[in-house]
Structure formats: structure tokens, C-alpha cells
Amino acid sequence: MENRTLNFSIFRYNPATPEIKPRMQDYQLDETPNMTVFIALNRLREEQDPSLMFDFVCRAAICGSCAMLINGRPQLGCKTLTVELPENIILMPLPVFKLVGDLSVDTGTWFRGMCNTTAAWIHTSDKFNPKAVEERMDNATALEIYEAERCIECGCCIASCATANIREDFLGAAGLNRIARFMIDPRDNRTPAQIFEVVGTDEGIFGCIGLMACDVLCPMEIPLQTQLALVRRKMMGAALACKCKK
């Protein structure tokens, strides 16, 4: 590996000190083997600038905390190797979400709101019986649910979504993927008409304009195009059924 000096241009702004205007700040760092953007940021904070703000928890692409714009693309800092990037690296916070400071954004409030909007829990009239035998599910269905559940709520799909960048009430791929998960689950008793009331709007599935940046940029490689197609197909069926009844 050729020794390189990496040039970082990092967005700096702390809303707690609004008198200091947003700016880009430059840093230089010698590249080391297997260096990720996350490792580089830690070194910059430890060796050069302890005021630098960014998020991390797991360092293993599980928590989703370190998502940011890396040369304009939403990516996980812990999963992005610097060897795959040019010498000049521009780091910006994810758009759409509330800025905490520098590269740190508040994804938690957005995802909590999304869960409340989509009522993201199993809806059933069955009463819970702790002594009952666990309800069985066929493997194929369980795997379909697991595929949707792999979302780590990093926000990359939301940050890359044209509609989400325009309107703050849009559920985005993360919200629609969550709805798809409960559509697949046989334990959820909601009818298509009831789900239509939640996502059959411009804030839901019909606000998606189909650019599919979410599918391309999902760091977990969840097939979001397939998930969104499922929701759109089901909701169009629900709308037609409702129209026929009228």
C-alpha cells in the first residue's frame, strides 16, 4: 500500500454557539493500513482537535450511528475504507435530520416519530398468554421478516431520498420498509384498508418518486426496491378495492 497523506475537509458548526458561522475545516492525516473513515476521525479528535463532534457506538456497522456524507454519498464511517477514497475527502452531516454539531445528527427523534406514525408493532386482538406455546411460523416467512428487520436505522436511505429532502413528513424507505415487515407478518391483523390509512398518501408510498437511491446506498444492502414495490402494490390494491365498494 502506497503511503498517502489524506486531506480532510470537515463541516464544522455547533448550534450551541450560533455566533460562530458554519464552515469547512481542513485536516491532514497519514493513512495507515485498513484505515476507515471512523478510525481517521478518532485519530483527528485524539491527535489534533478534541472539539470535533461525530457519532459512534459499535464500530461494526451494527448501530448505524456513524452515518455521514462521505464525498457526497451517505455512508457508514466505520464501513468505509479510506483506501477506497481519493486523497481529498469531504465529510458532511446527513441532511434531513436535526444537526447536533459538526457531523453528529439526531436520527433518534426522526425514527421514533416514524415508529409512532406507522404504529410499528404487531396489531392483534389475541390476548397475551405467557404459558401458551410459541406460535410457529414457516421458515420462508420468517426469513422475509428478518430481511426487513436488518435495518439498523442509520438514516442513509432518508438522507439520499429526494422526497425526504423536500418534505419533512415523508416516511421514506425506512418507514415503508417497516410497514412491509408487518404486511408480511401473519401475526399482524391489520387489513390493507387500515394500512392504507397510514401510508396510502403522499407522505407515504405515493410520495416515492422511484429514484431508488435508497436501494443503492443502503449499507446493509436491504432490497428496498422490492420492499417498496410490495407496499405500493398492496396499497394500490387497497385503493381500488375501496373505490369499487363506493
Q: In Å, how far from its chain's centre is CA 178?
A: 11
Task: Supply the pLDDT for residue 241.
Answer: 78
How far apart are alpha carbons 239 and 16 in whole angstroms? 47
Averaged pLDDT for residues 99-121 = 96
Which of the residue ranges 50-59, 93-102, 232-241 has the most confident prediction, judged by mean pLDDT?
Answer: 93-102
Question: Residue type for 98, please?
Answer: K
Task: Please name the residue that has the C-alpha cell 461525530.
Answer: 54
Task: Supply the pLDDT for residue 245.
Answer: 61
Tell me phi and psi for residue 8, to 5 degrees.
Answer: -100, 130
Is the pLDDT confidence value at 1 over 60?
no
3-state secondary structure the chain: CCCCEEEEEEEECCCCCCCCCCEEEEEEEECCCCCEHHHHHHHHHHHCCCCCCCCCCCCCCCCCCCEEEECCEEEECCCCEHHHCCCEEEEECCCCCEEEECCEEEHHHHHHHHHHHHCCCCCCCCCCCCCCCCCCCCHHHHHHHHHHHCCCCCCHHHHCCHHHHHCCCCCHHHHHHHHHHHHHCCCCCCCHHHHHHHHCCCCCHHHCCCCCHHHHHCCCCCCHHHHHHHHHHHHHHHHHHHHHHC
Which overall architecture, per CATH, does domain 5-92 show? Roll (3.10)
Q: In Å, how far from its chain's centre is CA 117?
A: 16
| pLDDT tens per residue across span 226-238 | 999 999 999 999 8
Task: Supply the pLDDT for residue 134.
Answer: 85
Averaged pLDDT for residues 205-234 = 95
| pLDDT tens per residue across span 128-170 | 888 988 888 999 999 999 999 999 999 999 999 999 999 999 9
Averaged pLDDT for residues 63-79 = 97
Global pTM exceeds 0.75: yes
Domain residue extents for the chain: 5-92, 106-245
What region, left, alpha or beta, does residue 212 occupy, with left being phi > 0 and alpha being psi -120 to 50 degrees?
left
Is the pLDDT confidence value at 186 over 60?
yes
| pLDDT tens per residue across span 18-42 | 999 999 999 999 999 999 999 999 9
* Superfamily (CATH H level) for 106-245: Alpha-helical ferredoxin (1.10.1060.10)
